[in-house]
Structure 1
Amino acid sequence: MDGFGLDDLKNVPPDPNQEGQGLHKTHALAPRLAEIASKGAPGKSYSTVVLTGVVRLVEFSMLLAAGLLLHKLYVGSYWEESVDYYVATPVMCAAAIVAFQSFDLYTTASFRAPVRHGLKIAAGWSMVFVAALAAVFFLKLDGVFSRVWLLGWYGVGLALLALERAALAVVTRRLTRSGKLDRRTVIVGGGALADPVLRALAAQDDSDLRILGLFDDRADARSPDVVVGYPKLGTVDELVEFARHTRIDLIIFTLPISAETRLLHMLRKLWVLPIDIRLAAHTNKLRFSPRSYSYIGDVPVIDVFDKPIADWDIVAKYIFDKVVGGLCLAVASPILIAVALAVKLDSPGPILFKQRRHGFNNEVIEVYKFRSLYADAQDPLAQRQVTRDDPRVTRVGRFIRKTSLDELPQLFNVVFKGNLSLVGPRPHAIVARAGDFLYNEVVDGYFARHRVKPGITGWAQINGWRGQTDTQEKIQKRVEFDLYYIENWSILLDIYILVMTPLALLKVENAY
């Protein structure tokens, strides 16, 4: 698996023993899977990485505020304020966070059990003050810092930590019960190799894994219907469709590394999903250096694919979309009003046109646009692409389509509905075609562009691949650029694309 990447999947020939690759066809969900999906994942999950990061920030800020407030009320009132306090206070707060981290106090398990971990909290906070007192003694600073302030801050800080951890326990337990902190997991591969992996995962205390079951293409004695109490739910093709209907966060392969061809055939189907994919190394006899592994609890795994945007990246992109999108909406409001009036006066019919398109993870979303076709010629399914001098396009429609002003209402999708991003692969209509073929029939791995939220503008658009996609080459190129964006995403790339978008709009040769 050394040097494994997307190019390896592109070069894998179709598996002759399988009915398709799960890329070109959609499958009806089997009744058993439909029942599990109907019970459903509890909406969006919360990243434990973000949760623990927020707790660290809250505790640092809380302790800092307490220390500075006591300094203001006591030292500042009775003594002259000193800059030494403004240096020592944040340093001690940072040391406390490091101490808590060393005691494993930033895990969901510790959040749920504040009483059991209370002594560790007290020990970590006490260690900071013991170290501070030692520094005061050895550096002969006993005349610099008030002992009343140190004692008061110690007591207030300990009380605040106790109250904060008690409140955090209530919130964490509620999130745990609702499944919002679970990592919904499926196992690919069954039989003897899955057995020790499942037992090791099940033996972990306070694990956030919720294993739904197994998927395996084998239907013989090598793959029994139940392994360690977990049922076999279906094939890998069915897993692809299952992941479109319910939330799955993690896929763990229990196949041996030596089964490279079989692994690649399965990964060729699964890489289009926005899901972390890991290869269990628990039973593999071939050993790599420790740095080659990550761990799920005590189980070593090899990272195969990661969600393109996860944890703090999701937070950064969300804030970017809401803040910058809101500013764009405010700045563009006069243009929105002017275009709305022009559309209304130019031809009878609604101002806005709503179209169902593919969004994140193939979810069907409704996207807003200014109406650019005559009301009786609207094509909500995009069964017929707009061409040069198309008689269905209104006079105002020709202008707003060439300048992409018809896309401006999608700012409402970004700011209020949240189903679009400012930057991302453009959402395509559900039955959009390149010539006589659906897009997913033309491009192998087409649905991989849905691993991130679609956007108003994107990497493909600023590189000249906007407008009509009437040929297979055009949609292939667009998807190629979309996948490059997904694999290389960063906030800086989003900013660059937004800055370059107005220049790209000057090229109107493909926009009709």
Structure 2
Amino acid sequence: MSKIDLAIHGYPSRTPFATAARRSAKVWLCLTLIGADALALLAGFAVGVRIEQPGVLSSDVWTSLLGVILVHAGIAFQNQAYTTKCLTSAQASCRQALLSVAATLLIFLLVVFSLKVTGRLPRLALSVGIVSSVVLIISQRLLLCHLVRRAYGNRLHTELVIVDGGNVPDACLGSDIVDAGVAALRSDLDDPYMLNRLGTLLRHYDRVVISCVPERKIEWAQVLKGANIQGEIIVPEIGELGPLAVHQLSGVTTVVVSRGPLDLANRAKKRALDIAFTVPVLIALLPVMLVVAIAIRLESPGPIFFRQERMGRGNRIFQILKFRSMRVETSDSEGARSASRDDDRITRVGRLIRRTSIDELPQLINVLLGEMSLVGPRPHALGSLAGDELFWRVDRQYWLRHALKPGITGLAQVRGFRGATEHRRDIVNRLEADLEYLQDWSLWRDFGILAKTAQVLVHKNAY
């Protein structure tokens, strides 16, 4: 049994049925909303075209309608028109829907004017199509919001209350409740396996509320900030928690201390970039990876890949993949000793692939599996030291970097902060860059970091 298995042993691995049902319902309801919008646009504009041109619709008309639907879907997704809020708030749903339709029509008209085909534009069909589509979209969204609120009320989000010595308000009894003492959960920033246990539990929920004694509130706040979840603490005072907002849980005041740094639309864009880049690169580099694998096997016995536990998004541990660059008997699975320039553990092939960063290529598999991203904070080994001190003890903000997926490359790497961490400042520099990346993330910045990575593949600190 592995350390991770031991860490979660004794706690039910299955999500409560009601929680799992709500999570599944949200996904299906969002997909239903997307499909309903597409059908409304299709039906609305089809009616307009049939009124002006009775008979069977031509293939050109169907192609144009399909294009409008795809453009609208992209705009609506970017415009947050398919969020959970749009499932429960009729006002927000209709507002975002109207803005998305307006933007789609604006793009359509710009294309028409640029192609100089305004003279052939069926004005009656367009007018009837716009009115019909808007009426259908608003009608189906109002109906869906009504049905969702009737079926789920305000409980569409999945909520968990963790009790760590605090009191449980009566208003919280409708949520899933875990007694930290019974489940052996602690706000221990010095125990990565405990954080992994908590991260494994929290992945089933949208929101977690902590009820704890005053002396543990600040530590719980630090734990939640890197957990990639909306975390809140039941507290009458805000003190040193650094709150983002004050919310209410069924009438009980809570302080929001963390949110995932990216919303659904931005997570989807980042994941799309990962897939679009990783698949063709893996295919193109497959011959190189095969040659490296053969060279590793010929030089020294042992596995081709080196696997090591690293901390990922939400403080969940995963197995990172690298080409093995050291002899098996001297490999450091805990990562307590950083590789140095004259490290006698590294093989001849290993020195070459580390110098050129080829040893990192198998991490593209981690990206495909969704454990990593192309760009993000680099995942560190659990035993990594800055001088003679563990990374997370140098600065407690270290755990905040895990609110995003770890990356193959990152802002710290392109700034030259890589290699051995012989001094406290070595990890502080990386942490400052990682926190800057979290705060100012954008897709264009990811493109820029990927472009700059090519300039630092061969680096004086890579050994």
When normalised by structure 1's length, the TM-score is 0.60
Q: How far is 1:292 from its partner? A: 7.0
> What pairs up with 1:163-312 in 2 under 5 angstroms?
182-186=158-162, 190-191=166-167, 195=169, 198-199=170-171, 210-212=175-177, 243-247=198-202, 249-252=206-209, 264=218, 267-268=221-222, 270-278=224-232, 303-312=256-265
1:364 to 317, 321, 327: 317
Does structure 2 retain, via aligned residues, the 8 Å contact 1:189–1:253?
no
1:324 to 264, 270, 277: 277
> What pairs up with 1:51-90 in 2 under 5 angstroms?
54-70=31-47, 75-78=52-55
Count of matched residue pairs: 399
Q: How far is 1:296 from its partner? A: 5.5
2:383 to 431, 455, 463: 431
Aligned mates of 1:332, 1:181 — CA distance in 2? 43
Aligned to 2:335: 382
> What pairs up with 1:419-458 in 2 under 5 angstroms?
419-458=371-410
Does structure 2 retain, via aligned residues, the 8 Å contact 1:188–1:253?
yes
Does structure 2 retain, via aligned residues, the 8 Å contact 1:37–1:242?
no
Q: How far is 1:412 from its partner? A: 0.9
Secondary structure of 1:308 counterpart: coil
Aligned to 2:286: 333
Aligned mates of 2:161, 2:294 — CA distance in 1? 51
Cα 1:295–1:493 shift into 2, 3 Å: farther
Moved more, 58-67 or 69-78: 69-78
Aligned mates of 2:457, 2:20 — CA distance in 1? 37
Cα 1:60–1:476 shift into 2, 3 Å: same
Does structure 1 retain, via aligned residues, the 8 Å contact 2:223–2:399?
no
* Amino acid across the alignment from 2:207: L
Secondary structure of 1:107 counterpart: helix
* Amino acid across the alignment from 1:446: Y
Cα 1:79–1:506 shift into 2, 3 Å: closer
* Amino acid across the alignment from 1:359: G
Identity of aligned residues (%): 29
* Amino acid across the alignment from 1:107: L
Aligned to 1:132: none
Q: How far is 1:409 from its partner? A: 0.9
Does structure 2 retain, via aligned residues, the 8 Å contact 1:466–1:511?
yes
Aligned mates of 1:483, 1:316 — CA distance in 2? 20
Cα 1:431–1:35 shift into 2, 3 Å: same
Secondary structure of 2:319 counterpart: strand
Aligned mates of 2:332, 2:407 — CA distance in 1? 21
2:440 to 476, 483, 488: 488
Secondary structure of 1:365 counterpart: strand
Moved more, 354-363 or 243-252: 243-252
Q: How far is 1:35 from its partner? A: 5.2
For structure 1, the residue ranges without an aligned partner over 5 or more in a row are 1-25, 111-120, 125-142, 203-208, 217-230, 285-290
Secondary structure of 1:246 counterpart: helix
Does structure 2 retain, via aligned residues, the 8 Å contact 1:50–1:312?
no
* Amino acid across the alignment from 2:462: A
For structure 2, the residue ranges without an aligned partner over 5 or more in a row are 98-121, 238-243
Cα 1:484–1:189 shift into 2, 3 Å: farther
